[in-house]
Structure 1
Amino acid sequence: MGVTLSPAIDAPTADQPVAACSLCPRLVRSREKLVFSSPIVPHGPSDAPVLIVCHAPDHTRSSAKGPAFLDREAETLLYKTLVEFDLAKRHVNDNGEECIIPTGSRVISAVRCPAPAGLPQPSEITTCNQFLRSELQTMPNLRIVVTLGVLAHNATLAACGIPLSRVNFQHGQITSMPDGLKIANSHPLSRHTFDTGQATPAHFRSLMAAVRQELGTEA
């Protein structure tokens, strides 16, 4: 069972793709096949100290409320872990449903639209990078970026203007950038990586515990 999320909290100062964004024709055609056809928007406050970057919305999940960042199993793990480390909180909405509200974290995807087979093309990643760069530049309290997978890691480096060869992706590692920003790496969270053991709930919890500790040492 997945979790019910609160409505997305927009960052008013960050550049976001417009609802009818047409920058990537292939992704526009992919969106048109879904119930909800706009690019996914960030979830969580723009003044959070932690930004979590997924690779692209789950192309298998879409509803009238929009696409999802991750498959249900991974989404449940992500938000449960954020709650555990005081980066999100549980809330009961007016309909009596329990929602997860990010408080000290914000979730975004490197590519804002679901891609066919879940595989965005390099040109689409490059085109969408302007929106990730805007997020990084307009989050005043940002301290740590958690990247879920190599695609998200490389997109974050590109958005920071850092050559990809300078910082290799290493699962479970936290690296400090020249400006003090830290990047924490995890393999993608998905049913597939859980089944193969590439990423496990224990791995991700350990990484987020380290992230929480880093935030504490900087307080």
Structure 2
Amino acid sequence: MANPENIPPEPAPDCPLCPRLVDYRRENEAAHPDWFNGAVPSFGPPEGDKAVELIIVGLAPGVQGANKTGRPFTGDYAGDLLYATMLRHGFAKGTYDARPDDGLTLHRAMITNAVRCVPPQNKPTGGEATTCRPFLVSRLNSLPALKVIMCLGRISHDNTLSALGMKRSALTFGHNAVHDISLDGRPAALIDSYHCSRYNTNTGRLTEEMFDDVFVSIRERLKAI
């Protein structure tokens, strides 16, 4: 996971790199000046990067979720399901109340996005994902105890493979698919899940039980590695 440009793990909140995303961010800021409206930073445990064994990679912030609150998956339905499941499986502590000041903390886990700024229609372009990828590379490199990467959705899966320097054809996306990978010579796993969006749950593509199964796989791999 080479990072030759020495990019930091987190972009500045007012990151200027993607013009379309900057314009959309400014539109939201004009309409909702009390929202976060910036590149959303990763959310990790209070112990810091050294404690992270699991990182969950989403696609991009939701306009009324993380773009509003400044914390990944906070304020929208996807976060309701994600944090409830993390709490059940011991990767979070406290109470999730869809606010960044709700006191919820993560345990051994971090949540980030492949694209850090909210895109129109929740759809970043391939070019925007490529531009933001060095931050994902740097974030993965910053976690010395990382053992499992969980990818929420196929696009997250593809972008994570690119961040790892792997061909996208190397690993096939599938719900609860477990892939053996190497992180700088250390054994690790990449585990896929359908995205925990309201659309996927409403259509039955993803059930709470199916999402639970992924976290069971994660816990098993953390014990085995």
The two structures share one fold, judged by TM-score above 0.5: yes
Please state how far the C-alpha of 1:81 moved relative to its aligned partner: 1.2
8 Å CA contact 1:14, 1:138 repeated in 2? no
Per the alignment, residue 38 of structure 1 pairs with: 38
* CA distance 1:116–1:162, change in 2 (3 Å): same
Per the alignment, residue 16 of structure 1 pairs with: 10
Q: Which sits farther off after the overlay, 108-117 or 77-86?
A: 77-86
Per the alignment, residue 161 of structure 2 pairs with: 157
Match among 81, 101, 108 for residue 104 of structure 1: 108
Q: What is the CA–CA distance in structure 2 between the aligned matches of 1:110 and 1:201, rounded to whole Å?
A: 24
Q: What is the CA–CA distance in structure 2 between the aligned matches of 1:144 and 1:41, rounded to whole Å?
A: 20
Please state how far the C-alpha of 1:67 moved relative to its aligned partner: 6.2
* CA distance 1:162–1:98, change in 2 (3 Å): same
TM superposition score normalised by structure 2: 0.83
Q: Which has the higher strand share?
A: 1
Please state how far the C-alpha of 1:99 moved relative to its aligned partner: 3.0
Please state how far the C-alpha of 1:51 moved relative to its aligned partner: 0.1
* CA distance 1:194–1:29, change in 2 (3 Å): same
8 Å CA contact 1:79, 1:100 repeated in 2? no
Structure 1 segments of 4 or more deviating over 6 A? none
Per the alignment, residue 183 of structure 1 pairs with: 190
Please state how far the C-alpha of 1:140 moved relative to its aligned partner: 0.7
8 Å CA contact 1:71, 1:191 repeated in 2? no
Residue aligned with 2:44, SS: coil
8 Å CA contact 1:49, 1:144 repeated in 2? yes
Q: What is the CA–CA distance in structure 2 between the aligned matches of 1:56 and 1:183, rounded to whole Å?
A: 19
* CA distance 1:119–1:99, change in 2 (3 Å): same
Match among 82, 106, 110 for residue 86 of structure 2: 82
* CA distance 1:36–1:172, change in 2 (3 Å): same
8 Å CA contact 1:70, 1:190 repeated in 2? no
Unmatched 5+ stretches in structure 1: 1-12
8 Å CA contact 1:53, 1:147 repeated in 2? yes
* CA distance 1:98–1:126, change in 2 (3 Å): closer
* CA distance 1:184–1:141, change in 2 (3 Å): same
Aligned length: 203
Identity %: 30
Q: What is the CA–CA distance in structure 1 between the aligned matches of 2:42 and 2:181, rounded to whole Å?
A: 23
Unmatched 5+ stretches in structure 2: 1-6, 29-34
* CA distance 1:59–1:67, change in 2 (3 Å): farther
Please state how far the C-alpha of 1:70 moved relative to its aligned partner: 6.2
Counterpart code for 1:19:
P
2:205 is aligned with 1:201: no
Please state how far the C-alpha of 1:189 moved relative to its aligned partner: 0.9
Counterpart code for 1:133:
V
* CA distance 1:143–1:68, change in 2 (3 Å): closer
Q: What is the CA–CA distance in structure 1 between the aligned matches of 2:208 and 2:38, rounded to whole Å?
A: 31
Please state how far the C-alpha of 1:193 moved relative to its aligned partner: 0.3
Q: What is the CA–CA distance in structure 2 between the aligned matches of 1:18 and 1:92, rounded to whole Å?
A: 26
TM superposition score normalised by structure 1: 0.85
8 Å CA contact 2:9, 2:142 repeated in 1? no
Per the alignment, residue 218 of structure 2 pairs with: 211
